[in-house]
Structure 1
Amino acid sequence: MSTATAFPRSWSLRRIAVLAVVLVLLAVSAVRVDVPRLFTQAGASRALAGMAAQMWPLQISDRQDVAEIPGFDPAHLPLFAYLQTTDETTRELDRDRLAPATVRHRKVWLVQPFGYVTQVASKLLETIEIAIWGTLIAVLLGLPLGLAGSASLVRSPTVRQAARAASAGLRAVPELLSALVLVTAFGFGPPAGILALGLHAAGFLGRFYADAIEDANQAPVRALQASGAGRLATFRFALWPQVRAPFVSSTFYILDRNVRMATVVGLVGAGGIGQELKGRIDMYEYAHVGTILVGILIVVLLLDHIAARLRRKKT
């Protein structure tokens, strides 16, 4: 006598009803947020195509009017730089005849063939520095929150809940919003971006660290606690060998994320390449925007390559 194996049905009436409800809700939501216009508005596609066309050729060089350079010395030019003279005509009022007249002005420019690429590289380096310092602040704040939020090290539920609530509160405030507020306190520049990235990322690291500690094998922890070891000794000898890999992985993830977000917070004046990007977009200088976007892409690819090499070394 053989018994047939009963497999659960792929589709049931309940699943079909749930799917139908989800589809109806998505349809209502699509109308509320104007999703059809996302796919049907041809004007937006033409505008994006026009912007992309203006990004090429990329802006490589940079030139400045020597009259606007303080203490300019034509005998000591930067490397590869040269002087360029142009004649420009403007319409001005002739005060003698009280009539418009064409006036020719001669301008001398300092041209640096790789000037704008150098400027973008400097801003990208500043962006990476902002991300690194933001990550350091996140580690310094997130590690105590992670230790305090772990049941393996802290027995008081009140302390654990307070630590996890603090981590959740830091995660709840987006970097862009906190950077906008901090710019009003610190002014334009990297300090606001560093603190905005550090506070937001500390909320993530506090959660990641606490979860890694609680997911570790608790037998060595209980053994050390039974022998009278303190919290720090318990963490050092029983937990750290187990959580070192997830701690390092989480920290590198935050660093990688902070590099990308440092570009975003720069849009509100918190330093880095984002501040330069916002200014060029406002002035419709899309060739400069294209150079900035290529620079950001190169930095992201380099970071991914470095992270991949580090992972291979760990394995």
Structure 2
Amino acid sequence: MNGKQRYIGLVIFLVAAISAMVWAYGFVTNRQQGPDGMSIGVVRIDDVLEFNPSYADYKQAKNELELLQRQYELEQQALNAKSETQDEQLKTLALDSTLSDALTVELQTRIATKENELNQQLNSKRNELTQKYLAELKVSTNEYDLEIVNLQLDLYAYDARVYIDDAQRAAAMAEKAKKEERLKELLAKRKPSDFDVDSIKAKVQAELAPMQQKGQEELNQYAASLQKELAEKRDSMVQQQAQAIIANNNLPVAQEWNDTWAKKLSDKEAEVSALHEAILEDVRMRVTIIAEEQHLDLVIIDDGGNIKGLDITDAVKASYRVQ
């Protein structure tokens, strides 16, 4: 009786244990089964990546990429601000009339100087021609000039005389007046008439006309040449000042700067991507091995803990610890 009871109790215990095992197995199996009866596993990828030996290199490369991107943004902002300042400086230079005004004064001064020079040459020639034609109208010097000289000497002598009395002075002054009148007559005879003066002017003007025309043409050519010279001088000076502004700002060539930074960022992004992909590939390999060991048909990355399936995250972590 007692033996049978012990046997029955043992059977009940074994049945209960087997039932518990079946229930437990059924619970796990239900967690792994998908809608189509597939065995599903899940892995929390973010918890696994840091166990990879290359994860520190990946994090460092990623941080370097973020620093590069920040540096790029800061440099871009600084260069844009500097470029705007340079544009304003160049605009101010272009609108500044100080240089143009100074060169305009120089142009006017040099043209006036040239014009005076040509006028002096013209006046000199006019005087030369006038003297020439006046000389042709003069009466022979043998006829009047000697008497004129004598009269001038006599008149000078009257001023140097010492008179005894008023009567002598009065007589001398009367004689002096006659000689002065005679001197005027002689001098008048030596002068050309109004008709002769007009004739001389016409001759002089006729001979000066080609010289005047030539002088005007020379002045016009000089003014045009000088204006071109000063315009080139102005452009050169403005260009030098603009180059000084550009050199002072020392901005890089935009395309070269963009290309350099594009390569820097691209190279670093490629490095980060390669490291990340290598880590993921290593994780995929380990997940594949563990999935085969666990007889899983599918392993899904779980980011939020909402996917039902066998969690193999710890198993993947453990695979790194045994290396």
Q: Tell me the TM-score normalized by structure 1.
A: 0.25
Higher fraction of helix: 2
Higher fraction of strand: 1
Q: Tell me the TM-score normalized by structure 2.
A: 0.24
Structure with higher Rg: it is 2
Structure with the larger RCO, 1 or 2 (CA within 8 Å, 6+ apart): 2
